[in-house]
Structure 1
Amino acid sequence: MTDSRSIPASVAPAFEAFPERERSALLAIRSRILSLAAEDPRIGPLHESLKWGQPSYASKVGTPLRLGLPKSGGVAIFCHCQTRVIADHRALFGTAFRYDGNRALLIDPDSPPDPQALDALIRSALTYRLKKENG
Structure 2
Amino acid sequence: MRRFTDARVAAIFETYPPAVRKRLATLRALVLETARQTDGVGRLTETVKWGQPSYLTEESGSGTTVRIDRLKAGDGYAIYFHCQSGLVEEFRQLYPDTFRFQGNRAIVFDATETPPSRELGHCIALALTHHARKRRPRQTARR
TM-score (norm 1): 0.91
User: 1: CA distance between counterparts of 2:64 and 2:26?
Assistant: 20
Match of 2:68, SS?
strand
Count of aligned residue pairs for this structure pair? 133
Larger Rg: 2
Is 1:6 matched up with 2:4? yes
- What RMSD over aligned residues (CA atoms) do the two structures have, in Å? 1.4
Of 21, 45, 48, the residue aligned with 2:46 is: 48
> How far apart are 1:5 and its partner, in Å?
3.6
> How far apart are 1:84 and its partner, in Å?
1.4
List structure 1 segments (4+ residues) > 4 angstroms apart after TM superposition.
none
Aligned to 1:24: 22
Equivalences for residues 80-95 of structure 1 within 5 A: 80-95=82-97
Aligned to 1:118: 120
Aligned partner letter, 2:108: L
User: 2: CA distance between counterparts of 1:16 and 1:30?
Assistant: 14
User: 2: CA distance between counterparts of 1:109 and 1:118?
Assistant: 16
> How far apart are 1:72 and its partner, in Å?
4.5
Which stretch has the larger CA shift, 107-116 or 46-55? 107-116
User: 1: CA distance between counterparts of 2:81 and 2:39?
Assistant: 22
Alignment gaps of 5+ in structure 1: none
> How far apart are 1:7 and its partner, in Å?
4.4
> How far apart are 1:10 and its partner, in Å?
2.4
User: 2: CA distance between counterparts of 1:125 and 1:47?
Assistant: 14
Of 78, 82, 104, the residue aligned with 1:76 is: 78
User: 2: CA distance between counterparts of 1:37 and 1:6?
Assistant: 16
> How far apart are 1:49 and its partner, in Å?
0.1
Which stretch has the larger CA shift, 6-15 or 34-43? 6-15
> How far apart are 1:79 and its partner, in Å?
0.6
Aligned partner letter, 1:71: K
Cα offsets for 1:51-93 (capped at 9, x unmatched): 1111000112100011112234300001110011111011011
Match of 2:43, SS?
coil
